[in-house]
Each structure stands twice: as structure tokens, then as C-alpha cells.
Copies of this chain bind each other. A is one copy, B any other.
């Protein structure tokens, strides 16, 4: 049952930084999460991608307010009403020279259906590969995974047929992210996700809380908690056996509850020592 028997060479990100946020990050006062993003933009250009939203009015303005005085050089909005726009030169121009991209909330399927496999997506990947920062909150957090959670019941234990997943942006591998975690009672659906394939590590992020991923390690920032569900040691599950409407059973999950200052090694699947 040791997790160390597997090597996970793809864990984490090879270059740059991901800031993955559980939604409702503070935009006034101390703003530790926006500070983490700004620190990595280093006075450069930050693109706020509001593409997850059907009606992005007000989103960009709230981040203009949120990043005020935080050493972000230029703040521009990227919105893609129709997928065709994601290939236009004027859209790509918005991303030129950017040090970071921030995905706001909405619907993760809008992000992937509008920009997946387009030049915009390539540009975003390039920014990360050049050492930039890609941040995402709520839907923008979920979309970072290779396979992303799209839908599932909250405030209910997981029933086997409940979950809907889809291919995400794949900026981080072997991980599945859920957001608004404690607030919407989502432990059930996170367990449902990792039960399907224990290769993916389940990470549930509370509101106003983020993980900052650099290399193979993540660190927690913000006021809430992060739940890491590691199913690699699971000894028994009914996920492939029972009826679709049966409640899930899953034995021997390892669960880590992390808070600000805590770190976690994605390759070794081990918490790093706490600082708080």
C-alpha cells in the first residue's frame, strides 16, 4: 500500500507557476492570493481571461480593483464570445508579452470548448513554459486539470453514476481539482472522482484559499483549507460493480487536511512540514 512504489515523473508543473483558487478570493485588504499572483507577474502584463462566463460584465472590473497597488504593470481582459475569435490576430495580440493569465469563474466547459486546441491555448501554455504564472479561480481552477470535474452533486454522498468529467486544459497532470470545497460539501464527489482512477490525486480547495504549484510541490495560501485525497492505497471499492444509483464505497483513502503555510509534494504524495 506504499505510495512510493510508483514514480510520478509528470507530477506538478515543469516550468512556471500555477495558482489554483477555490473561488471567492479576497479582493480587498490583505489579499494574500492575489499577492501571490502579482508577485510572479513582477510588474509585467496580466491577462484576465473571463471566458468561463456567459456574461463577463463586472468580472474584469473587480480584478482591476483587486490588483490595484499590487505591482501589476498592465491588466487586460481576454474574452472569447465565439470560438472562432480564439484564432484571430487581435485576440492573440492581447496575450503578447504577458507574464501571467488569470482565469475567472463561470463554467469550466466554456473555457475548454472556446479555447481548447486554439492558438489562444498555445499562447497560454507558452507563457507558463517561459516561467509565467497561470491562475484560475472556481471554474478556472477546475479547468487546469487534464481530466476536469464538470458536474456532480454537492451536499450529498456520491452515487456512482453522478459525476460528469471532461478533458481540461491539462496544465497540471495526475490531479483532479474541486473548488468551493467545504462551503458546498463536496467531499463526496471528490472521493467519487479519485475512485474512478486512483492515479489522480484529488484536491479540494475552499473559498478564499489557493494552492501555488511550482515544480513538484504545492503550497497553501489563504484563509481556508485544502483537502488532498489519495486513493492509491484503496483496498476496496464498488465503483465498477454496483448500480449507478448506489452510494459509493471506498476503503482506505488517505486524506490530508492542509492550511496556510502547509506544503505538499505531488510526486511523493507526502505533506511537507507545516510552518504555521
Query: Hey, which bits of chain A sit against chain B, CB under 8 A?
Result: 155-158, 181-188, 191, 206, 223-225, 227, 229, 235-236, 238, 241-242, 246-260, 262, 271, 273-274, 276
Partner of A259, one of B156, B249, B254, B271: B249
Complex alpha-carbon distance, A254 and B7, angstroms? 22
CB contacts (< 8 Å) of A248 on chain B: these are 225, 257, 259
Task: For the complex, give the distance between the alpha carbons of A155 and B274 in Å.
Answer: 24
Residues of B within 8 A of A247 (CB): 206, 223-225, 259-260
* Secondary structure dominating the interface of A: loop
Q: Could you tell me if B271 and A236 are in contact, using CB atoms closer than 8 angstroms?
A: yes
Select one of B249, B254, B274 contacting A258, CB under 8 A. Answer: B249
Taking a contact as CB atoms closer than 8 A, the residue among B223, B253, B254, B262 that contacts A257 in the complex is B253
In the complex, what's the smallest C-beta–C-beta distance from A131 to chain B, in angstroms?
Answer: 30
Closest 8 CB pairs of A and B: A185-B185, A157-B225, A247-B259, A251-B271, A250-B257, A157-B182, A249-B259, A255-B255
Q: In the complex, given contacts A157-B182, A249-B257, what are 18 additional A-B residue pairs having Cβ atoms less than 8 angstroms apart?
A: A157-B181, A157-B224, A182-B185, A182-B188, A184-B185, A187-B227, A188-B225, A236-B271, A236-B273, A246-B259, A246-B276, A247-B259, A249-B259, A250-B256, A251-B256, A251-B271, A253-B255, A255-B255
Q: Which residues of B are found within 8 Å of A188, using beta-carbon distances?
A: 182, 225
